[in-house]
Chain A
Amino acid sequence: MIEILACGPLTTVQDAGRPGHLSLGLARGGAADRQALLDAAALLSGVAAPGIESAGAPLRLRPDVDCTIALTGAPMRVTAGGKPLGWHASHVVQAGIVLDLKPSGEGVYSYIHVAGGLDVRPVMGSAAAHLIAGIGAALHPGDRLRIRAPATPAAATLVRPDDRYAGGTLRCVATPQTALFRKADLDRFEGTAFTRATQGNRQGIKLDPAGAGFATEGQLNLLSDFVLPGDVQMTGDGIPYILGPECQTTGGYPRIAHVVTADLPRALQAPPGAVLRFAFVDLPTARAAVLRPPAVAPTLRDPAAMADLLSYDLIDGVIDAKGEPWRST
């Protein structure tokens, strides 16, 4: 069991969502940052999802069993029983210890997974809360989440955490409506440094164009058709929104571009104020750009940070007595 001692209003259980229901008008949903799920699975060397998604608010958790947790997505400052824990890493934590997590200002969506995954009743094949659709509920202080199969795999660390938490350039492809925009507007779209506005949630994020909007030529009566997460939708006044995992499944607003799946985590992790740009790529490039499991390595602990150093067997086969173990050679 993991008890939620404190959390923000947008804290939910998420997994990879429930694909396969577009014909029923139900979006896939699931984690806003799908790379963070892959990161957690790699760090826990197996079952990670479902886990906890937290959006920019402090969080306090207390497991009642020994378990290994993985911390991925938007970095937070974490302590366990008062001692700091690294982000982009997994840690073995002891039963009863209080995990205290605070937003760092980088990124938006943080993930806390536990080895074995949370035991949450699935709806239509997924444990993911989809609040817009009325599936599941936000987590509240006092909630206790069962762990499906608690385990304590060894601590690990992402070898090269990426930098998707501060905006940047998003690769995108044309949509069926891209050609409705004037060439000059498409050029301006690619040349604009958009600012991620404060308005944003799991349905989508608003961008501030810092100039004129992007209107189509006389196409306000488009027949409603399929909309996907990653679509860059223009409202009637030409303000772009990048759609997220809980977007509607159909819509009549024109989509100027579609952010490739591999770059959607970067889009949705951009915090308010971050700068986002778009770069059109061709379909073969977009299709080759898939999310990949990251490289992880066993965590090598810095002895200086180990308060319990004396409890470790330091000469068990890894120390070369003739070398200088604390200096790289």
Chain B
Amino acid sequence: MTDFPRIEPLGEAAWLVRFADRLDDGANRACLAFRAGLLTDPPDNVAETASSLGSVLVRMDDPRGADAVLSALERRLADRDWQAVPLPPRRLWRIPCCYDGDAAPEIEEAAALAGLSVPDAVAALSTTRVRVLALGFVPGMPYLGTLPPEWDLPRRSDLTPRVPEGALVVAVRQLVLFGTSSPTGWRQVGLTAFGCFRQDRDPPIALRAGDEVVFPAIDAEHLTDLQGAADGLGGSVAEDLE
């Protein structure tokens, strides 16, 4: 993969530092580490940075100074092997999730596709620690990974008409915790009471790219209790990781 990392223009006012063009855990770690470096020590004329599945966006205040920003980014890329840099400080979230009944309408189908019994699938999903690879689609909505290879499930070609906000869905070795009620081709295997975005909460968006998450199993009654929580955090707790 000598093509990566590479830097491409994104519009006239941003650069895209790309570490991979397919899902790759090492590349995502490199994105997080590279962006953390930009946050700690921002080059001149950088207005905003963000990391995604395999790339880092660097938006400039003044596009007329783009060449100098490009040089600074090239120097930083050459500076070290970003895949080998330890992940920046982050948090471990425990977000309770119900994997039963109406909360998990496609758990049986997903388990079968993964070659697992339903109890084994729930055991795996409720204990595997995943990382927020990126936030997107709607504000604060996490793409989480990377799950073991048996979870490389295809997306459904026929969309599920609507999954509820808080749904935990699975496909292509990733989980998504839905931030809105929406149609999807991913399979719903659980339901949380976690709100990805609450404009009246401080902060409105709780998760950050790089945070780690586990989804411990709870029963439907417990989920109903958590859905009443005013903070919309669904009974989750977070601890700092170094």
Contact = CB atoms under 8 A, between A and B. Distances in A.
A286 B209 CA distance: 31
Most chain B CB neighbours (cut-off 10 Å) among A134, A261, A283: A134
A306 interface: no
Contacts of A248: 136-138
A22 B48 contact: yes
A283 B9 CA distance: 9
A65 interface: no
A24 B23 contact: no
Contacts, number: 122
Contact of B199 (A22, A25, A134, A288): A134
B11 A224 contact: no
Given A133-B197, A224-B134, A24 B205 contact: yes
A232 B66 CA distance: 22
B11 A173 contact: yes
Given A226-B57, A283-B9, A24 B134 contact: no
Interface in A143-197: 173-176
A26 interface: yes
A9 interface: no
Interface residues of B, number: 45
Nearest to B23: A223
A26 B205 contact: yes
B54 interface: yes
- Pick from A24, A222, A250 the residue with the most CB of B within 10 Å: A24
A173 B63 CA distance: 13
Interface in A237-252: 248-250
Interface residues of A, number: 38
Given A173-B11, A176-B16, A250-B52, A287 B63 contact: yes
A223 B204 contact: no
A19 interface: yes
Nearest to B64: A287
A228 interface: yes
Interface in B175-224: 179-180, 197, 199, 204-205, 208-209
Contact of B136 (A176, A224, A283): A224
A23 B51 contact: yes
A219 to B, nearest CB: 10
B94 interface: no
Most-contacted residue by chain B among A25, A174, A286 (CB, 10 A): A25
A23 B209 contact: yes
Interface string A264-307: 00000000000000000001001111100000000000000000
B75 interface: no
B11 A230 contact: yes
Interface string B130-163: 0000111111110100000000000000000000
Interface string B9-30: 1111110101011110000000
A123 B52 CA distance: 24
Contact of A228 (B14, B52, B135): B14
Q: Looking at A19, A249, A286, which has the most chain B CB atoms within 10 Å of its CB?
A: A249
A21 B139 CA distance: 9
6 contacts: A25-B141, A134-B197, A228-B11, A258-B11, A260-B11, A283-B12
Given A23-B35, A230-B11, A261-B11, 15 more contacts: A22-B48, A25-B140, A25-B179, A26-B205, A176-B8, A224-B134, A225-B55, A226-B10, A226-B14, A226-B50, A249-B50, A258-B10, A258-B11, A287-B13, A289-B12
